[in-house]
Chains A and B, each alone.
Chain A
């Protein structure tokens, strides 16, 4: 437990769930989030079920039709949002403190007796089909999916199946599939985090306990993880309606979150391409000095205690500036790889990272999401604080060694989506010069 600025931070593990809380003495609002890892094999059928399930879960239960359920939530001025990403299901609950208990009652029946009726499934399938069709012109997402598909195998949680193939499999999703997925949701361990007054935290604890004690604990996880070796390549997809080419440039990193190189590597990526703001090397050069793009950021993604992640640069260029932009980006990455960082950069970015951590305190919602992210990775409060403090014990040599070990530009795959016809040949020619 930790007391900080009149708030109390706590994580209480349990055999089937873990509950983290931020207790505020006076708060009008309550926010809570539950995350459940549902990843097993991730077949295309699994992906299709995930897409239907998020809406199906809030579309009727033993006590309410969908309309009655939504009406009841809205009458409280509250919200229950269900989403899924990387096979992690998240349920977000928020309301005023006065209405939180009533909201939990609704969430309880939602989890314990979802009905998955035929008519609701038919409605959701048509919505999912429309969403999938619309996603074809989401060029940033397409580039990211293409990159991740290059770095991971079919059964990895980071793999995304083709839109048209998925759309055809969505048509076959039935109540049986949804019930089976729901059973998995209930049996897997839950990671729950809440911020609010003490009474709200107690109510939330009881709510989770009520649901989880009715379930048999899950068998050992069958989760499959399939990272591939790096591959220097350019993969382009043509979406002529867009005016920019969205790019995801990245490479696999064969370590997990707990590896000693993770913190130095994370530090290095922040120096190169800090996500947000203007202080990363790429923002200072490719954007500020050369005026080639509005945004160029990078970070480590997809790491966990057991799974290996990747590093990714995200940017976009207009077609006439794409070759120049990519050339500048690779020039900076190569320079970074060859020379590493200097003492001045090292000192500055230590301050920058500490400030980022301090600014989370501006909002309790921010604090809760920060705590939840660590909580999902299995950290205790003490481990979370130790992990954050590790940045202060880093040495410049550790950072430069990590750069040399993992950030070779020759390993990078460039995935671009947009009006690519005029630049395709030149980009393919360029990547050969990097190889």
Chain B
């Protein structure tokens, strides 16, 4: 759960009713006192462009069995008309109408801990963008009639992922890795659950989680701070929180005892070995150590597994991923096998290579991984959309202030930390192995 801010009042807010909370790396946090809406503001001059981004602390982890993917389905429905739109005969909904009239960029995405909506537009539209976000926080009309075509689109989206061997295998692997924690299902949910959604389920979820005290409103771009805060106050200050508390699961994942395995067979020419390991939550220090560890293993032609498997023709690719999720989640090394290679041999070869790594091998790779990551951060922070996107992960996982400390954290990671992390991560009691077997 995201860390609640505690106002310091060490600096005054330019707008009454909005309290200054903190500042780091040019990002300022404020609090709308009337309802607890958090605000992040970052100014970037000379672009004439602004990005707004509202993040709700609700995602796949808040879904129950039989209702997987509901947070994502609701994300789609927030582009449908609100009660005000219907009154004003805006049948396609104000958000869509805004895009269709102005050409701004609008979209949304859902992840394990959060649902995020953003607009990127010339600065002149800021007032309208904030009005839209405020209106759809609580006023979208959710009916079975409006749900039906959007359900078809989400099923199409599911099939888009579902046709991919890596996604199919990942679904099975997280399900095996997490027996109790809701991270055990993918954000889009199971197809069967998507088919069974109805308006009532969406309304309940909407009411529970879409409220000012469960959201952060970000404004990043070429806009005056006072104006941005005044507009946020104008549109959001009157919104009320329900009297009921925000429902949260309090689940601790049972201890894993031994390696877990899954196999998926499908007529395909693709063959995959995926090595999953549970990693620490974001943005903890250990998360960054894990991230650099994965870099040394799989990132670029110098990495251990690229040299071992791709350069030798045993695999066509090696990739890895790790979620910026607040709780422990499943990181994955994915190996796409060359023709004629055996899943078990590649798995054995990979695990043996990881087990035998030494400080001597890790040290030069880590040095370069750190420099590369720090440079990547510089590049990522050159557009309002990317800045807002990155802040979203920090704020939804728990602490956006770490955004300002990334370079410092990365610089402090030592080869010994990475070696310890390898031992902890690739221990049989922490592993879930997946094989995708193409039967064509």
A residues lining the B interface (CB < 8 Å): 5-7, 28-29, 31, 66-67, 70-71, 74-78, 94-96, 123, 126-127, 129-131, 133-134, 136-137, 139, 240-244, 276-279, 284, 287-295, 316-318, 321, 348, 351-356, 358-359, 361-366, 418
Contact stretch, chosen from B195-203, B240-248, B278-286, B369-377: B369-377
* CB–CB A355/B46 < 8 A: no
| 19 residue pairs A–B, Cβ–Cβ below 8 Å | A70-B302, A71-B368, A75-B368, A77-B374, A77-B375, A127-B310, A130-B317, A130-B336, A134-B270, A137-B268, A139-B163, A240-B440, A243-B162, A243-B163, A291-B152, A351-B103, A354-B103, A355-B102, A362-B49
B11 within 8 A of A: no
Specify the chain B residue showing the minimal Cβ separation from A347: B101
In the complex, per-residue mask of B303-324: 1 if CB is within 8 Å of any chain A CB, else 0? 0000000111101110000000
Closest B residue, CB atoms, query A350: B103
> In the complex, which of the residues B122, B267, B383 contacts A240, with contact meaning CB atoms closer than 8 Å?
B267
CA distance A311 to B405 in the complex (A): 47
Which interface residue of A5, A131, A359 has the most chain B CB atoms within 10 A? A359
- Report yes or no: A292 in contact with B371, Cβ–Cβ below 8 A: no
Complex Cα spacing A378 to B141, Å: 51
The B28-53 residues at the A interface (CB cut-off 8 A) are 46-49, 51
Are B163 and A362 in contact (CB-based, < 8 A)? no
* A362 contacts B385, C-beta separation under 8 Å: yes
Which of B156, B317, B339, B379 has most A Cβ within 10 Å? B156
A294 and B438 in contact, given A77-B372, A96-B378, A358-B49 (Cβ under 8 angstroms): no
B413 adjacent to chain A (CB < 8 Å)? no
Kindly provide the distance from the CB of A154 to the nearest chain B CB, expressed in whole angstroms: 26
Report whether A95 and B375 are in contact in the complex, using a CB–CB cutoff of 8 Å. Answer: yes
Given contacts A70-B302, A362-B221, 8 further A-B pairs with CB under 8 A are A31-B379, A70-B300, A77-B368, A96-B375, A291-B148, A355-B104, A363-B382, A418-B163
Give 3 nearest A-B pairs by CB, closest first.
Answer: A291-B152, A352-B103, A291-B149
Given the known inter-chain contacts A136-B269, A291-B148, A355-B104, please indicate yes or no for A244 contacting B163, CB distance below 8 A: yes
Contact A133 B269 (CB under 8 A): yes
Report yes or no: B157 in contact with A294, Cβ–Cβ below 8 A: yes
Answer whether residue B82 sits at the interface, using C-beta atoms and an 8 A cutoff.
no
Q: Which of A5, A129, A278 contacts B96 (CB 8 A)?
A: A278
A137 lies within 8 A of B102 (CB): no
Q: In the complex, how many angstroms separate the beta carbon of B4 from the nearest chain A beta carbon?
A: 31
Q: How far is the CB of A82 from chain B (nearest CB, A)?
A: 12
Q: Is the CB of B302 within 8 A of A78?
A: no
Complex Cα–Cα for A365 and B47 (A): 13
Residue of B nearest to A242 (CB): B163
- From A291, A295, A363, contact of B150 by CB (8 A): A291
Set of chain A residues within 8 Å of B163, measured between Cβ atoms: 139, 241-244, 418
CB 8 Å contact bits of B111-141 with A (1 = contact, 0 = none)? 0000000001110000000000000000000
Which residue on chain B has the smallest CB distance to residue A128?
A: B316
Closest to A78 in B: B375
Are B378 and A361 in contact (CB-based, < 8 A)? no
What is the CB-to-nearest-CB distance from B14 to chain A, in angstroms, rounded to a whole number? 25
How far is the CB of A195 from the nearest CB of chain B, in Å? 10
In contact, B378 and A29 (Cβ under 8 angstroms): yes
Cβ of A362 and Cβ of B383 under 8 Å apart?
Answer: yes
A136: chain B residues within 8 A (beta carbon): 269
- A137–B166 Cα distance when bound, in Å, is 12
Partner of B300 from A74, A126, A317 at Cβ < 8 Å: A74
Complex Cα gap A66–B306 (Å): 14
B-chain residues with CB within 8 Å of residue A351 when the two chains form the complex: 101-103
* B149 closest partner in A (C-beta): A291
